[in-house]
Chains A and B, each alone.
Chain A
């Protein structure tokens, strides 16, 4: 008799979900290998044509856009998230700490659509941002934020920030305060202490947060779709367009499949490239 008779029952939901994921993945693989019959929802016979179609410039451009979007989003999220996480871990007042936590987590609680609509209101030509800047006389013409890469990156940074802040805060809180105190007692001012002790020791956290941000942004759909408005075409918006505007399911399936493999490849490349850096902070 097993000592934990319920263990099997506890595991069963995850097994069901795993089956579901495997089945839908197989369906996508299967679809990607079938021919598209214009005007019909059912696919035709087996073929590799879908993958050759993907060599067209429009699809290649979506891959480049997606990578650029992920890169800029990860970079800016990191630049904004690191100080936030640092303040959250190190702030003396408990109230300030929870305020920072609350502010950085709110994007998670807002629905994707609500959040994206809010950004459309802020970023539009007569939106909050442009109106304020024009009122202040900083600019004469509205900045092009809607339907541009910049606008999408701004909204995506907001979307990615919670996860990065939480991951960085976890990493930073594991750094022994005495290490910073030791550095200080040895004559290091704040900046030197940060650059030589805190930053190197938080590199594992930075790497983990950056790759998660990368993957997180890669799969974003509503934000690039609504704020990009078709002008910023990513893999996910293109899959939607091919699948649900042109009803070319086989091509959409092959595009998602290649997109998935591409994500894995980029993340793997990213991780090998960064492993050397990570070793600095390993402890």
Chain B
């Protein structure tokens, strides 16, 4: 039966694709949670679904896991069509936000659960449980109950329980959100190490953009049930394809501008009374008219008000951050009235100082203003 399914799988299902999502969509009582999604997760890849709450990322994860049934579309895991396969036959591993450890079982029993359902012989089960507990550094906790463990330890048990069955895909549903900050970064490093050592295909759901940037091979940024951009962290951060991605990932300064003319990626535009000529990374620029100019804080610099191309602003607030200071500037041509940039802490300025903002000639992006959304 499996060969039959592979035979009807689309031609482009190559061996390096671990999960293929073909036009899968989902609505809940008339409300669209997920527009038809197309997505391929490569074998061994750490792919992050990033987006604000309600963007459909968890719905997509639940569809991959099989906890929800897709309204339409098809889903392949390791070239097998699994759209109709119940979750317990999908051979996936999942770590939940609240870990969902079985409270009535010891750590070892929790970890062994997936092996018992697969009728793995006792001796092998014991061996594999020992191995995986060593992997997550919990050898000495095998007989404890979950409630006797700290949050970080519980998470490792949850990870071990998912890993021990050698899943085809590991699904992570915001697993770090319950941990405090220090523990969180330690666990992120540890998880990433384990994941790449095992070469495990991983789909990770989070709303935390810095977590997504630091951990992922690729990120799919989602909003309103759609994937807005998919790419490596640096592609997402440096070359956001639209207004939403530019503001959701990283800090962004947005200026209301008028696009006068464009040739390829070079544009001439007016910001307030200042006329600028810029080269963007974009392949296609919007039509001339009102646009939004997007610039990262680190691309902006301070300059004299009399310099050509300088945009007038007034220091509103200077926030000391240790190695640098964040300058929040009042700027009439910024979309939300504010511009933020970072300067060395020694160059912080008093509120009320009038300054000029210099924009880079290369690197910013221009989006149609109408595309704004949350």
Contacts and interface: CB of A to CB of B under 8 A. Distances in A.
Count chain A CB atoms within 10 A of each CB in B93, B98, B103 and give the residue with the most: B103
B39 interface: no
Interface string B55-69: 000000000011100
Interface residues of A, number: 22
A185 B65 contact: yes
Count chain B CB atoms within 10 A of each CB in A179, A182, A200, A282 and give the residue with the most: A182
A130 B165 CA distance: 56
B88 A187 contact: yes
A201 B92 CA distance: 24
Contact of A187 (B67, B100, B118): B118
B103 to A, nearest CB: 3
Given A178-B96, A185-B93, A200 B104 contact: yes
A201 B104 contact: yes
A283 B94 contact: no
Interface string A250-283: 0000000000000000000000000000001111
B88 A185 contact: yes
Contacts of B86: 184, 189
A28 B319 CA distance: 78
Contacts of A197: 102
B53 to A, nearest CB: 17
Contact of A280 (B65, B94, B100, B104): B104
Interface in B64-92: 65-67, 86-92
A2 B52 CA distance: 49
B42 interface: no
Count chain A CB atoms within 10 A of each CB in B67, B90, B171 and give the residue with the most: B67
B156 to A, nearest CB: 15
Nearest to A201: B104
Interface string A181-203: 11111111100110011001100
Given A281-B104, A282-B104, A176 B88 contact: no
B100 A184 contact: no
A184 B96 CA distance: 13
A187 B165 CA distance: 9
Contact of A182 (B100, B118, B147): B100
Nearest to A182: B100
B100 A181 contact: yes
A201 B103 CA distance: 8
B104 A181 contact: no
Given A187-B88, A187-B165, A283-B103, A181 B94 contact: yes
B117 interface: yes
B296 interface: no
Contacts of A201: 103-104
A184 B162 CA distance: 12
Interface in B133-184: 147, 161-162, 165, 171
A282 B96 CA distance: 21
Contacts of B320: none
B88 A182 contact: no
Contacts of B101: 182
Nearest to B109: A196
B113 interface: yes
Nearest to B111: A186
Nearest to B98: A178
A220 to B, nearest CB: 34
Contacts of B44: none
Contacts of A283: 103-104, 147
A281 B147 CA distance: 13
A161 B230 CA distance: 55
Nearest to A189: B88
A182 B117 contact: no
B59 to A, nearest CB: 14
Interface in A137-168: none
Nearest to A192: B117
A176 B161 CA distance: 17
A182 B94 contact: yes
B117 A185 contact: no
Contacts of B117: 186-188, 192
B104 A176 contact: no
A185 B113 contact: no
Contacts of B100: 176, 178-179, 181-182
A51 B244 CA distance: 84
B114 interface: yes
Contacts of B91: 187
A181 B67 contact: yes
Interface string B29-46: 000000000000000000
B65 A186 contact: no
B161 A186 contact: yes
Contacts of B165: 186-187
A185 B103 contact: no
Nearest to A181: B67
Contact of B113 (A176, A186, A280): A186
Given A176-B98, A200-B104, A281-B104, A183 B113 contact: yes
A189 B206 CA distance: 29
Given A187-B114, A280-B104, 18 more contacts: A181-B67, A181-B87, A181-B96, A181-B100, A182-B94, A182-B96, A182-B102, A184-B88, A185-B65, A185-B92, A185-B162, A185-B171, A186-B93, A187-B88, A187-B91, A187-B165, A188-B88, A201-B103
29 contacts: A178-B100, A179-B100, A181-B96, A181-B100, A182-B96, A182-B161, A183-B113, A184-B66, A184-B86, A185-B88, A185-B90, A185-B162, A185-B171, A186-B88, A186-B93, A186-B113, A186-B162, A186-B165, A187-B114, A187-B165, A188-B113, A188-B117, A196-B113, A197-B102, A201-B104, A280-B104, A282-B104, A283-B104, A283-B147
Interface of A: 176, 178-179, 181-189, 192-193, 196-197, 200-201, 280-283
